[in-house]
Structure 1
């Protein structure tokens, strides 16, 4: 086994965090900014790339960091190593409401393809890279862009997604069509393509976009019920105009001050 063997425990329901238990000298790698808390005796270090150990010197590390930029992630990742003599714990939290999905890559043929901002943390040795979509149409209209993340190795990795997560097993030749933004992850054997919504009226007035993802088995796929982009668009649509918000806020504060006796 090339990856560190870590134990973990999930807490919460819709606003989850994962607590990782580290034995002495064990290390977990996480996205910069995902730390929630850690116990004394854990050493934290910022690194280029994913820390998988196969980057081949300075140029390799720079190339690995550059690949992460293509997926919209930070140039840096953070490692957390237990430098004490007993077990220590470090916790990582999701950046928005949803679920954290633990994935044992040794049980998933050593590779998972996921949306570009799904990765949260992993055992040291897991490689976090990029997966180019073979089909140009998939890249331009796939909702997640031309590039997706790939996680490779034989250890534990944690990804997060919005809302409720549903795992579906696809049989050979079985086809599943989903909204492009709702696809979280899939195993390497799943064929992923983009289809145009048939029917002019459906495409223009259906409210579901012009394209959907077509997934063909065999393999496993993970679907999220609330993509962050959908949540953000609803919040943005509900926000008042800048001028109105300022006037309404000023009026409300003035009324509050009057009622409060100021």
Structure 2
């Protein structure tokens, strides 16, 4: 493999494991004219094909089944449900798969390439609550489970459903992000400080942040006439990551589907 074709755009590591988002600098194209046209426009728009590369040194990782692309080294691959009851809970409440794959050993691991985006988070004895289906892989020492919303308003009107995915412990987790990492905005909230979002583009939050749906006005009538309706409200202490450009990309994608 010609490593000169790849460049590293983000890195996080813990003892025994280094996680990198690598991307192809450019694609050479295809003998299929349709594919070649798409590759040309992707290059013009600076859209890159990306992979997660993990370097292990006598350590282990947890990945979603089907994510493995190839690996080189001395590895043991096994699947487990992390406990049947916990696995079933995750499967039916967050959309994550029932079984997960664990890779142990030393060497390099590459996960499936995509034109999508990844974000790396280094968690230090804390918990991160993320969008359903966002979990991709994690280092040893992290536990992935379903987290029930803390109140009725957030479950019924918050736009996130009754359960989200919780990643708890210490280590690095890789999440599939709806936008490039540098388009995510991070807000550190003091105790009692609020962040209100009109839409479902909050991506992740630390466990100390309270989430609920609140009226934008003092009454339901005011909320209706203001055009804002219910807001996703996050109250500190803790950190919240939001993806403001996500809704714009969704609207552009819907417009494109109507034109084709």
Q: Quick check: TM above 0.5?
A: yes
The answer to whether structure 1 residue 63 and structure 2 residue 74 are counterparts is: no
Q: Pick from 169, 181, 190: which aligns with 2:200? A: 181
Partner residue of 2:64 out of 24, 31, 37: 31
Match of 2:208, SS state, is coil
The structure 1 residue matched to 2:95, chosen from 68, 72, 80, is 72
CA contact (8 A) 2:96 2:135 kept: no
Classify 1:240/1:177 alpha carbon distance in 2 versus 1 (closer, same or farther; 3 Å): closer
Q: Report the TM-score, using the length of structure 2 for normalisation.
A: 0.72
- Which of 172, 189, 196 in structure 2 is aligned with 1:156? 172
Partner of 2:42: none
1:10 aligns with 2:33: no
2:54 corresponds to which of 2, 10, 20: 20
C-alpha contact (below 8 Å) 1:192/1:213 kept by paired residues:
yes
Residue 111 of structure 2 is matched in structure 1 by 92
Counterpart-to-counterpart distance in 2, 1:177 and 1:95: 32
Number of residue pairs aligned between Structure 1 and Structure 2: 215
2:121 counterpart of 1:103: yes
The answer to whether the 8 A contact 1:5-1:123 is kept is no
Larger relative strand fraction: 2
CA contact (8 A) 1:68 1:130 kept: yes
Matched, 1:224 2:243: yes
> Which has the greater radius of gyration?
1
Shift of 1:32: 1.9
1:237: how far off? Answer: 5.2
TM superposition shift of 1:167: 1.4
TM-score scaled to structure 1, two decimals? Answer: 0.71
Distance 1:230 1:140 in 2: 25
Query: 2:122·2:170 contact (CA, 8 Å) conserved in 1?
Result: yes
Please, which runs of 5 or more residues in structure 2 have no aligned partner? 1-13, 24-46, 218-222
